[in-house]
Amino acid sequence: MALSLTSADFHTGGSIPAVHTCDGADTSPALSWSGAPPETRSLVLILDDPDAPDPAAPQRTWVHWVLYNMPPQASGLPAAVSNTDLPHGTQVGLNDWKKSSYGGPCPPIGRHRYFHKLYALDVVLPDMGHATKAQVEKAMQNHVLAHTELVGTYQRK
């Protein structure tokens, strides 16, 4: 069984509901996953937007959420999960707003794609505090057992 990631709040390629964006409550969507390999020791979740600031002329990837060292027995996150309600052992990295929390879609122009990336690792990563996406990706090099992603879109009215 392959690693898979889904959401009850939107389907692959579908629009992310406004409640999960800066135009709403800015809370995280519900996410569910399955199929992590038996040798998985931790999970990493990264949410980013490669279309910033303008999908017609992207200049950078904007990081919205970084979670690492989620326990392998975790099978998802409820909508609007707070840092204190994350699975035991989960560490929260730093997003591009310099916050250790979820930051929802807030595109300045156009319809952006938001990649929810889930990685199964063969190790528990060292405690890197509020690590950036780049720091987490560097630490997980050569430790990825499986990877999947769920892509949603959002455009402000």
Asked, for residue 148, whether it belongs to a domain, the answer is: no
pLDDT level of residue 17 (50, 70, 90 thresholds):
very high
Q: How confident is the model at residue 157, as a pLDDT?
A: 87
- CATH number of 106's domain: 3.90.280.10
Determine the structural domain holding residue 27 and report its residue range.
Answer: 4-142
Asked, for residue 62, whether it belongs to a domain, the answer is: yes
Asked, for residue 150, whether it belongs to a domain, the answer is: no
Q: How confident is the model at residue 103, as a pLDDT?
A: 98
Q: What is the pLDDT of residues 104-113, one digit of tens each?
A: 999 999 999 9
| Percent of the residues in the chain that have a pLDDT greater than 90, as a whole number | 99
Asked, for residue 155, whether it belongs to a domain, the answer is: no
Q: What is the pLDDT of residues 28-72, one digit of tens each?
A: 999 999 999 999 999 999 999 999 999 999 999 999 999 999 999
Asked, for residue 157, whether it belongs to a domain, the answer is: no
Tally of domains within the chain: 1
Q: How confident is the model at residue 24, as a pLDDT?
A: 98
CA distances from 153 to 11, 145, 156 (A): 10, 27, 10
